[in-house]
Structure 1
Amino acid sequence: MSLWMILPVSLPVLSITGIWVVYAMALYNQHVCPVDNWLYNQSCEEDLHLQSGPSFCCTLDNVPLISKCGTLPPESCFFSLICSTGSFMVVVIVLLRYAHVIEKHQNCVLNTASLSTGWICAAGLMMVGNFQVDNAKVLHYVGAGIAFPTSMLFVCLQSALTYRLAKTQGEYYVAHLRVCMTLLAFGALVLSGVFFCQESFVLQHASAIFEWVFCVIIMLFYGTFAFEFAGMSGDTMAVLARGGSLGAAGRELKLETLVGMGGQSHPHQPETMSIL
């Protein structure tokens, strides 16, 4: 596995692991209800000694939403760290994907729109992680309102872009995979939003489940960029250095310039630490 492939693969691994660590910390500190305790959390009338779960009464305030798992220390600190790190990785991956499309094909509206929505999503994720819902509810929900729709828009644009650029059968398989993941993410996001607005305790928990499912699918979607990043080279950095102007015409001009100067062209030079 090349160095470029590790970056998109590490994002879902880091994010999914971090989410579960935050949930485990919140559960250990009795800040959220455990998953296996949802069946009898609809009422707090039972004596606590009769309950087989935690020694506190679970209410709607303890619903294990991802955000609820990170509202109190120490898990709130870890939640902020995971979101900030994930936000930075999203910025880098989206930027590299943008440059890779220009390098291998040419720039287009879908590519530019994907870059914009990806960076907006990263900004929303940063707000979600650093403004906990119990301390800064307005800013937290503003961040969530930015991150969730823009992440959904980003995967839609990338799915369409993959189909537009696909030439081989393998690339079409990747496009089919991304469309399936996009449809699943859209369904999970819609159900999470619908159930979140309900007062029912059961539906609130269902909203939490679909919120987790949506985030996991989005993270796995980013992992699929490893297919394209396997073919990246140092020329991708040149695209960024030139401000995204190194398209097909730019590569031909570069080749003609080298030949005219009596130099030799090496379009597939090995990556070095200086290039990185």
Structure 2
Amino acid sequence: MAFWIFLPITLSAVSLIGCWTVYGLALRFNHICSLRNWEYSNSCLTNKTVTGGCCTEYNIPTISGSGTQFPENSLFSATINAASFLFVIFSIFHYAHILKKCTVHRFFSKSAMVFGCLAGVGAFVAGNCNPGELMFLHYLGSALSFVCICFYTVLLTFLTSTCILTGLERFLYPVRIVFSIVQVTLTILYCIFFTQKDFYYRHISAIFEWTLSMNLELFELSYAVEFYFFSSSMLSVLLSNRDEENTMILS
């Protein structure tokens, strides 16, 4: 049913609109620097706020940094919660689609689902643990999400080349290869630059983070093609697969 096409579209839209709205609010209330502002100084401000062209280490425009302070932190948590839930549903439903249409590589498809669910859980933890108050949990959730998303995109790209779900895999596969390479490469660069003390490099890491978000949203959006051919009857495969596993355990 074509109705299911709205799942990846909604997932991408919630992430895109929600995160950039949070960024706009944070910028409006002078809680973060603009992504276009490269002027940083430790001594220009004493109250840790942004005015004019002056920025400090507390105002680097990361995604989570945009949602740290009130009032935009409430919208940030709501956006991450909704996106995390939809991402987990997306991962499970796509796994059901693969089980129904593709009998090979079940290990890789199940691994992809697990990584997808873990990525959603990590994002949920990061979105609900304010970095200003629960920094360790926030960074732990973020790290889990970033790493699992890399494995998830790579595994789904591999499955695109081996499982025929739509008949359009010859067009989708090269596109998803690009998305996967960008996701993995920028994640590594993001981690390297984020750990630097120099504000210039940390600002670059913030740009990498926003680029990673956009890249993932486009990757998710490409699955509108698969979900066009998805039907609710495919979800029964999950139950039958569970029954088979239970039978094997009992025997």
TM-score (norm 1): 0.81
Give 1:46 deviation, angstroms: 6.4
The answer as to 2:235 corresponding to 1:237 is yes
Partner of 1:181: 179
Q: Which amino acid aligns with 2:161?
A: Y
CA distance in 2, matches of 1:24, 1:168: 38
Greater radius of gyration (CA): 1
Equivalent runs, 1:134-173 vs 2, <5 Å:
134-166=132-164, 170-173=168-171
- Structure 2: tracts of 5 or more residues without a match: 245-251
- Structure 1: tracts of 5 or more residues without a match: 48-52, 247-276
Q: Deviations over 1:83-119 (max 9, x none)?
A: 0000100111111100001111226111110111010
CA distance in 2, matches of 1:168, 1:4: 14
CA distance in 2, matches of 1:42, 1:140: 25
Classify the secondary structure of the residue corresponding to 1:199. coil
Pair 236,21 (structure 1): closer, same or farther in 2 beyond 3 Å: same
Pair 138,167 (structure 1): closer, same or farther in 2 beyond 3 Å: closer
Partner of 1:26: 26
The answer as to 2:97 corresponding to 1:100 is yes
CA distance in 2, matches of 1:126, 1:167: 30
Pair 109,83 (structure 1): closer, same or farther in 2 beyond 3 Å: same
Q: How well do the aligned residues superpose, as a CA RMSD in angstroms?
A: 2.3
Q: Deviations over 1:169-193 (max 9, x none)?
A: 6212111111110001112111111
Give 1:242 deviation, angstroms: 2.6
Contact conserved, 1:99 with 1:244, CA < 8 A, in 2? no
CA distance in 1, matches of 2:165, 2:53: 58
Equivalent runs, 1:53-72 vs 2, <5 Å:
54-55=51-52, 57-72=54-69
Q: Which amino acid aligns with 1:6?
A: F
Classify the secondary structure of the residue corresponding to 1:198. coil
Aligned residue among 86, 90, 99 for 1:89:
86
Partner of 1:111: 109
Give 1:203 deviation, angstroms: 0.8
Give 1:44 deviation, angstroms: 5.8
CA distance in 2, matches of 1:168, 1:79: 35
Give 1:35 deviation, angstroms: 2.8
Give 1:55 deviation, angstroms: 4.7
Contact conserved, 2:116 with 2:149, CA < 8 A, in 1? yes
Q: Deviations over 1:255-275 (max 9, x none)?
A: xxxxxxxxxxxxxxxxxxxxx
Alignment identity in percent? 30
Contact conserved, 1:100 with 1:232, CA < 8 A, in 2? yes
Q: Which amino acid aligns with 2:141?
A: G
Give 1:43 deviation, angstroms: 2.9
Give 1:61 deviation, angstroms: 0.9
The answer as to 2:9 corresponding to 1:12 is no
CA distance in 1, matches of 2:243, 2:163: 18
Partner of 1:75: 72
Q: Deviations over 1:123-159 (max 9, x none)?
A: 0000010001111000001101100000110000101
Give 1:76 deviation, angstroms: 0.7
Classify the secondary structure of the residue corresponding to 2:144. helix
Partner of 1:35: 35
Q: Which amino acid aligns with 2:124?
A: M
Classify the secondary structure of the residue corresponding to 2:70. coil
TM-score (norm 2): 0.88
Q: Which amino acid aligns with 1:67?
A: S
Paired residues in the alignment total 240
Partner of 1:122: 120
CA distance in 2, matches of 1:173, 1:36: 35
Q: Which amino acid aligns with 1:192?
A: Y
Partner of 2:199: 201
Which of 230-239 and 196-205 deviates more? Answer: 230-239
